[in-house]
Structure 1
Amino acid sequence: MRTVEEHLAEILAGVPVPEPLDLALLEAAGTVLAEPVTAPVPLPPFDNSAMDGYAVVAADIAGATDASPVELPVVGDIAAGDAGVEAITGGLAARIMTGAPLPAGADAVIPVEWTDGGVRAVRVFRAAPPGNYIRRAGEDVIAGEVVAAAGARLTAARLGMVAAVGRASVRVRPKPRVVVLSTGSELREPGSELAPGQIWDSNSFMLTAAVTEAGGVGYRQATVGDDPAEVLRTLEDVLARADAVVTSGGVSMGARDVVKEVLTGVGSVAFHKVRMRPGKPQGFGLLHGTPVFTLPGNPVSAYVSFQVFVRPALRAMQGLPPEALPTVSAVLTADLRSPAGIRHYQRGTLSETRGHPTVAPADRQGSHQLGALAGADALIVLPEDVEAVPAGAHVEVMRLPS
């Protein structure tokens, strides 16, 4: 058997990284930037008002109080996007809206709440220092500043920032298109009636959602039975619309392990036993240049295999570091045992005790027991050389996507 690291290294050496392309902003949402984005101008590009109110000279209202307000003539209105009044002099005021450019000569903005709201003349009831409620040019971003770095994922906030500096499109690494396929003649679509011996397919739904969590675009293919010709034909068909293919089922040592049967020796696809539980039977290779990940059929095995092998590969295809799930050291709340010589991924639930992470193992750890996985938020990682870990010991824990 090979180690987890050996199998992952082979995968990362084999997956291609698609060339960057230019996409319009909304099409680029969620992708990874292939180049830095810089600001061509400062933001804001001009001094502007942070409030609806009046642009004034601060010295004119230095003595304003409720008992002794200062009255100033209002020379005009300045709306956002409209220069309106370009300048004022001492002894005058201009009504100004939030975001409107500050007129030359003014050095403070008085909120309308501090006034009587006058149109031709305004009475001001509070003094204010110079700079009051003024957004200065460049106080957010200076010209030439990098506002989104290469390798950053375009989240909603970053996308807004890129739009704010005037970019209509960006150069990005595209999201990998991943087709997910479950095999097995016993599988039926959720919502259909079950005959004896049949089960509803869960893996393809789970893995398609996991692709999305990893930053890819998942496409679920309808389940395929155990007919070798049908499986091979389906795989050939989906390659036209896939940057990667993930299958589940049919990769072990059984007489009906159809994925292994039809892909052995095809392209560079090869099958191995990996020193891990769950998920010992694994396969990977390129089929007509497209990466194909063949995962076990038991639901927990398929999910753990995805997080350990497929997720890092999809990150690499997006130009990101091929990292596994984030980890934390936590105190174990119960004794655990593990077979010698394998890396064991056990489901658990993270919490905090007196400010320190703790992890409670799930009661059920069978590779077919999806209910325990659905209730878990972590995988407890027990190394190959560990056979027993007592409660109170520190263990490495992988945080599952929330």
Structure 2
Amino acid sequence: MPEMISLEEARELVLSRVFALPVELVSLREAVGRPAAADLASDIDIAPFPHSAMDGFALRAAQIASASVESPVELDVIAEVAAGDVFEGSIAEGQCVRIMTGAPLPPDADSVVKYEVVGVVRGDGKTGSRVSFSNTTKQRSNVREAGEEAKAGEIVVRSGEVIGNAGVGFLAGCGVTSVPVHRRPRVAIISIGSELVDADEVPSYGKIRNSNAYALAACAAAAGAVPVRLPIVRDSLEALQTQVERCAAEYDFVVTSDGASNGDFDFIKPAIQGAGELLMSTVNMRPGKAQAFGVVNATPVFGLPGNPAAAYLGFELLVRPALRKMQGFSNFERPRVKARLSEDFKKKDPRRIFLRSTLTKGEDGLYVVAPAKNQSSGLFGVIQRSNCFAVMSEGAGVREAGSVVECILLDVSEDVVI
């Protein structure tokens, strides 16, 4: 196992050891935001019949072919047809039918003229009235055709396609009321450290609240997974290995925080190695060099650092892609944009640096990125107020204000094209 690998190698390694979970059927509402696990087809034509695209008058275009402002054509309104009703009678010369949006087009009609451009000669425009047309119309004007959006048996959502809010309505119209999707991964969240206390406790001197567990659970939920926060594990190799083995048998993915470095009380690497196979220990990134990954009983186990920023970065760049793959997603990287630095950057480091930053647009419409003043890896508040990571390539050294850098957007889904 190499001492340190690149971020790209680390992501590829993690993705190579995770697989899409079994398929389950869920309701349309539950399918929103999830990729379909199979092709979905319509059971009928959509629309199932030709119908009016607006309120107006159904007729044959030839009936008003001579209409003009100087010489309008007048027709008698012989019936009304509302959405849900059907008019099956005949439309003779000199006649038309008042029709509402969504109503089936009468068999004798080939066009609809919208209500607003039709004059009323006598009556109120309803049955028994006489109306006038001052312009011609085209055949099939304002008509939505049968099968315009889909034909019976046609695939309307492809396997892997993420179902959006509009897709729910589309599928409902196609008769699809349940959707096959890959099951959401259940993720065990384990915090390690004898110094930790629960968030509802006031820590005594030398103790700190277990904030990482809450943040990582939120990250897992945002990735579509089902997080389960487990009790704190004290600094004991035996206790940690036991918990990892138990969780690997019960959950789809295990995430730990703290204990990923090489200190006297850092036990996640030997715990993974003792229970399964350790595949990765360090990644060329800052913060978060110590990133442990392995497999225990065929279950992925990821050991994140204890510092909040390092744990958050590791989750975003390495764990989140894995959880998405397990759900059938095909896009694993957040969108990136180029932006100008708002100030000089003067920290040379052989590792790739990810600065917690805020992305805005300047007066000229171009992106400007402002790294947070305090880049300590022990802070959560800075991440809360950031919307991107500004990426400084390995050994970047001095970058002057105005230099263009790449930014990873934290508030935009991987499926969005920028």
Select between 184-193 and 4-13 the one with higher mean Cα deviation: 184-193
The C-alpha deviation readout for 1:312-351, integer Å capped at 9, x for no partner, is: 2223323334632221222222221344321111111212
Decide which of 274, 284, 294 is 1:285's aligned counterpart: 294
1:121-270 mapped onto 2 (5 Å cutoff): 121-124=128-131, 126-127=133-134, 129-130=137-138, 131-142=140-151, 146-214=155-223, 216-226=224-234, 228=236, 230-239=239-248, 241-260=250-269, 262-270=271-279
Deviation at 1:142, TM superposition (A): 5.0
Q: 1:195 aligns to what SS in structure 2?
A: coil
Q: 1:341 to 1:93 in 2, by over 3 A?
A: same
Given that 2:40 and 2:157 are in contact with CA atoms closer than 8 Å, whether structure 1 keeps it comes out as yes
Aligned Cα root-mean-square deviation (Å): 3.0
Stretches of structure 1 lacking an aligned partner (at least 5 in a row) = none
Given that 2:10 and 2:280 are in contact with CA atoms closer than 8 Å, whether structure 1 keeps it comes out as no
Decide which of 391, 402, 407 is 1:381's aligned counterpart: 391
Given that 1:66 and 1:125 are in contact with CA atoms closer than 8 Å, whether structure 2 keeps it comes out as no
1:331 matches 2:340:
yes
| Amino acid of the structure 2 residue aligned with 1:109 | V
- TM-score, with structure 2 as normaliser: 0.83
**1:356 corresponds to which residue?**
366
Distance in 2 between residues matched to 1:52 and 1:35, nearest whole Å: 39
Deviation at 1:290, TM superposition (A): 1.2
**2:401 corresponds to which residue?**
391
Q: 1:395 aligns to what SS in structure 2?
A: strand
Given that 1:31 and 1:175 are in contact with CA atoms closer than 8 Å, whether structure 2 keeps it comes out as no
- Size of the aligned set, in residue pairs, is 400
Distance in 1 between residues matched to 2:205 and 2:272, nearest whole Å: 30
Decide which of 303, 307, 310 is 1:301's aligned counterpart: 310
Select between 61-70 and 324-333 the one with higher mean Cα deviation: 61-70
Given that 1:333 and 1:391 are in contact with CA atoms closer than 8 Å, whether structure 2 keeps it comes out as yes
Decide which of 28, 47, 51 is 1:48's aligned counterpart: 51
| Amino acid of the structure 1 residue aligned with 2:128 | A
Q: 1:325 to 1:218 in 2, by over 3 A?
A: same
Given that 2:221 and 2:227 are in contact with CA atoms closer than 8 Å, whether structure 1 keeps it comes out as no
Percent identical among aligned pairs is 36
Decide which of 65, 72, 82 is 1:79's aligned counterpart: 82
Select between 59-68 and 27-36 the one with higher mean Cα deviation: 59-68
Select between 255-264 and 198-207 the one with higher mean Cα deviation: 255-264
Given that 1:338 and 1:382 are in contact with CA atoms closer than 8 Å, whether structure 2 keeps it comes out as no
Select between 229-238 and 10-19 the one with higher mean Cα deviation: 229-238
Distance in 2 between residues matched to 1:117 and 1:140, nearest whole Å: 35
Select between 363-372 and 177-186 the one with higher mean Cα deviation: 177-186
Stretches of structure 2 lacking an aligned partner (at least 5 in a row) = 413-418
Select between 362-371 and 141-150 the one with higher mean Cα deviation: 141-150
- TM-score, with structure 1 as normaliser: 0.86
Decide which of 33, 51, 56 is 2:36's aligned counterpart: 33
Q: 1:66 to 1:54 in 2, by over 3 A?
A: farther
Distance in 1 between residues matched to 2:89 and 2:262, nearest whole Å: 81
